[in-house]
A and B are shown apart, each in its own frame.
Chain A
Amino acid sequence: MHLLAWILRLLGVMALVPAMPLAAQNTPNIRAELVAESMSPRAGAPVSLAFVMTPASGWHGYWKNPGDAGIETSVRWTLPPGVTAGPLGYQVPERLLLAGLMQYVYEGAYAHPLDLQVPAGLAPGTRLPIRADLDWLECTREVCVPAKASLSIDLTVGDGQVDASDRARFDAIRARLPRPLGAEARFAAAGDRFRIAVPLPASLSVSDAYFYPLTDGVIDYAAAQQVTRDGDRLVVETASRAGAAGVQTLDGVLALDGGRGFSLSARPGAVPSGGEPLSQVDAAGAMSAGLFLTAFGGALLGGLLLNIMPCVFPILSLKALSLARSGESAAAARRDALAYTAGVVGVCLLLGGVLMALRAGGAAAGWAFQLQDPRVMAVLLLVVLAVALNLAGLFELPALASGGRLAGQGGAGGAFWTGVLAAFVATPCTGPFMGVALGTAVLLPLPAAMAVFAGLGLGLALPFLLIGFVPALRHRLPRPGPWMGRLRRILSVPMFLTALAIAWILGRQAGADGMTIGLGAALLLALGLWWSGRRQVAGRGIWPVAMPAALAALVLALLVQPAPRDAASAATGIAGAEPFSEARLAALRAEGRPVFAYFTADWCITCKVNERTAIDRAEVAQAFRQGNVAVLVGDWTDGDPALGRFLSAHGRSGVPLYLWYPVGSEAPEVLPQVLTPTRVAGLVNG
């Protein structure tokens, strides 16, 4: 028996051996590193430190509330006298649901930033040895290992100098922290259901949301969360736990798609029911008839409108005439109209299918998104210009002629190919106008998105269906003749105007440099096409010249770079407002002008309410005009780090913030978070 026990003990020890390297100090499973934003912090000011954690593949670390299992990270400091460390910051986590147990984790690199307060009165050059013992839990999907590391960094009291690379690194770390929502949420428990209402502007687009609770024992972590939106409110519903009874405060982080996270605190209160489910994608099978009809009807109207858009109209009206020309009997006209419609709708569905396939492939292939890329706009400019020059008669397109051969076959086949051609030729220049509609289609569930594309095609073909089915309309169409050539030349004018509009958008997106490059490419293309046209007149081929010119122009167009965002972003809200920057603020104050600066974000309901009710008002605008007040707007929607630093320098961790800089005063007056028009207008006289 003794021997057996001894063998078993030995086996036990042997079983432990493979686990030994895992438990070693500062294991390689998650590498921990202590870094500082400034190696020479100023006395009397905070300096940012961060524990940068890098998990090996397959390992994860834990959020402050680890979920159903796991533990939070803790730190024991050894600091010089007077130096104090703030609490560890936690970035927005991810969910890991394993065998019905939810864990809130980081599966990729993460960091715990914190503020270290350096006491005032320390002489520059004083060494500050910072020592930290960090304890955390690192796990794979199967095993967990408690890990610890003794980390140190030696700072020297100095001028607070921050290197650009350190600034960028810490800005990236802070960008993943949740930002204070700035509005109080409400919660209500009924039976075993728990509902949280979060104030969030209806204008903010949200496709995914999850509430990470910090208060333990109130909601069931592993239960699914249903998210609905109703006006300026987002409601999360899930299953409650026993702790839900009698809880007075529920803290947590609301994570939205795109890595946005907002820390909030909820109090008991009424949570209204109703609202639209957040994600119709989940319920693609049970898509409501209402959504389908709205999408289809909207697209139908859009397609109809496309017929009179300047770039589409010229092409389509010519095709219409060719269609009308061929119509002898009423039956043939109806057949041609149907075939034409089939061609148009077919092409639209095909393009839609390609876009959907790209979306399914994981590419964020939103049309609207692509239109934000100045290179796409530059290419579009070239296409539209080429169509305009063609209409103006500079050259003839052999491809169109061969398409015309197909289209000119007569009968239903010819009409079908005419429809295909019309839709193809029309599509590139629908971009600028339909970009938003198509962008919406990309976000819709598949059947609704395809309905949008079909509706677009049907709307585009609708006038010709009418011509085919209503003989009175057909008889009123003019006879073909030399006037068509004149009309074609005239119709090149709206096309050139379209090109002008695109050039303007390009200028907004890419600045004067980008627009010049785009226009240079356009000039190159125009010269090439001009030469091609001359060759055509002489009876020679078009491609030897047109092709290289088009390619060269394309390469040039792809060189267009987006302008820095500041130049392009126009401030919203009150008239005459400019985007905020500390340099602009200093310049305006140096001019001796009073400045009203406010800081807002699209997700901040308090900000939006204040802007609507107290800032964007006629009386305020008039008072500001009289007082020659400059208005600066800081938009923190994307969490601009420079704005974040300015906010924290004014004691705020988030928006809104309203600052009034009277002439000749050193420090600004910080206005309350709830404003009235009289309060704001009264600043000028007060």
Chain B
Amino acid sequence: MTSSSWIGAGIAAVAIAAVAVPVAAQQRTGAFARDFRLNDAQGQVVTLSQYRGRPVVLEWTNADCPFVRKHYESGNMQRTQAEAIRGGAVWLTINSGAPGKQGHVDGAGARAVMTRWNSAPTAYLLDPRGIVGRGYDARTTPHLYVIDGTGRLVYQGGIDDRPTANQADIQGARNHVLAALEEVRAGRPVSVPEARPYGCTVKYADS
């Protein structure tokens, strides 16, 4: 190989690495959301881009985290999911917990959690290596993202504006996700495009 072909191969290798491993960087609200490909709880391959044209909600989860339990045991998360899907949106629940860490599940475990909580997202996606989680800079469970039909990220942050683990605080809180979906549907700009995510840390693999 000549030196120029070495350089070419190097550039190609770097480019491939950049595509395959999204670096941990905040996704900019208003920019196109990064595409990804993950297996769901049934073993089916799901990509973000297959839902282009419909709003998509991403929800990071960990069934053992008390903040996640606040919203599931009260039924708030399921209600939010059902209302979003009824309005034409796609709901992707994502688990980025690494094997051996709290809240990690395989396909069967994910199905058991959905059964236990009677939750019905469009898909429950498994991200045990944390690649998509880090790519979206998901920091907490729950951490929510809303992507509009054109593929732009229009909201990222907590599910609501009451950062507690207390179920009593759900009543009267502003549900940022439903508000954002409503504004997207009405063709208005999202009034609260970012809010502080709150909850447990995402239990990523130790890097």
Contact = CB atoms under 8 A, between A and B. Distances in A.
B65 A144 contact: yes
Interface stretch (B47-55, B86-94, B172-180, B194-202): B194-202
B200 A139 contact: yes
A11 B112 contact: yes
A135 B29 CA distance: 32
Nearest to B202: A101
B204 interface: yes
A567 interface: no
B21 interface: no
A8 B28 contact: no
B115 interface: yes
Nearest to B100: A142
Contacts of B198: 69-71
Interface of A is mostly: mixed
Interface of B is mostly: loop
A114 B202 CA distance: 33
A142 B101 contact: yes
A434 interface: no
Contacts of B64: 19, 143
A69 B60 CA distance: 13
B116 interface: yes
Interface string A145-187: 1100000000000000000000000000000000000000000
Contacts of B98: 99
B3 interface: no
B166 interface: yes
Interface residues of B, number: 35
Interface in A94-109: 98-101, 103
Given A5-B115, A68-B140, A144-B65, A242 B26 contact: yes
* Residue from A9, A144, A146, A243 having most chain B Cβ neighbours under 10 A: A144
B150 to A, nearest CB: 20
A216 interface: yes
A99 B102 contact: no
Nearest to B200: A144
A274 interface: no
Given A8-B116, A217-B194, A69 B201 contact: yes
Given A12-B112, A68-B140, A142-B101, A101 B164 contact: no
Contacts of B101: 142
Interface of B: 24, 26, 28-29, 64-67, 98, 101-102, 112, 115-116, 130, 134, 139-140, 163-166, 194, 196-207
Interface of A: 5, 8-9, 11-12, 19, 23, 68-72, 74, 98-101, 103, 135, 137, 139, 142-146, 216-217, 220, 241-243
Given A143-B102, A146-B165, 18 more contacts: A12-B112, A68-B140, A69-B140, A69-B198, A69-B200, A70-B200, A99-B98, A139-B200, A142-B101, A143-B64, A144-B66, A144-B200, A146-B164, A146-B166, A217-B194, A241-B26, A242-B26, A242-B194
